[in-house]
Amino acid sequence: MELSIIQTTQARVVATTAARLDAAGVLAFKDRFRAAVADAEGRVILDLGSVNFLDSSGLGAIVAVRRLLPEGVVLELAALTPPVERVFRLTRMDSVFTIHPVVPIGPATAH
């Protein structure tokens, strides 16, 4: 599973290119996400715009990576596809995370 990282003046944006976040890919996702945010400060935005399928393992992985963030760093979600948004709504996790309809990024900075 590949992750792309963009550091902006407002947040670190981490995007997955995977179409599925399920049991088959959660270990790789958690490992790569941990490395991507190890030195993050402030806000981390997880861009889920390419994910069309999310099962309970994938949801659990997102909750788990939230706990892996350095102290004081907040995880927000963005660009949820309709099937993924439905999972968050049905599990009421949409009340736990700040969810943006699109990725709210400012100018990129060197990273």
pLDDT in tens, 20-74: 999 999 999 999 999 999 999 999 999 999 999 999 999 999 999 999 898 899 9
Q: How would residue 1 be classed by pLDDT, with cut points 50, 70 and 90?
A: confident
What is the CATH superfamily name and number for domain 3-100?
STAS domain (3.30.750.24)
If you write DSSP's letter for every residue of 75-96 in order, what string do you get?
Answer: EEEE---HHHHHHHHHTTGGGT
Distances (CA, A) of 67 to 17, 42, 71: 22, 14, 9
Q: Over 60: is that where the pLDDT of 108 sits?
A: no
Mean pLDDT of all residues belonging to the chain: 92
Give the C-alpha separation, 60 to 44, whole Å: 18
Domain boundaries defined on the chain: 3-100
| Axis crossing angle, helix 26-37 with helix 56-68, rounded to the nearest 10 | 20
Q: In this predicted structure, what is the pLDDT of residue 110?
A: 45
Q: In this predicted structure, what is the pLDDT of residue 27?
A: 94
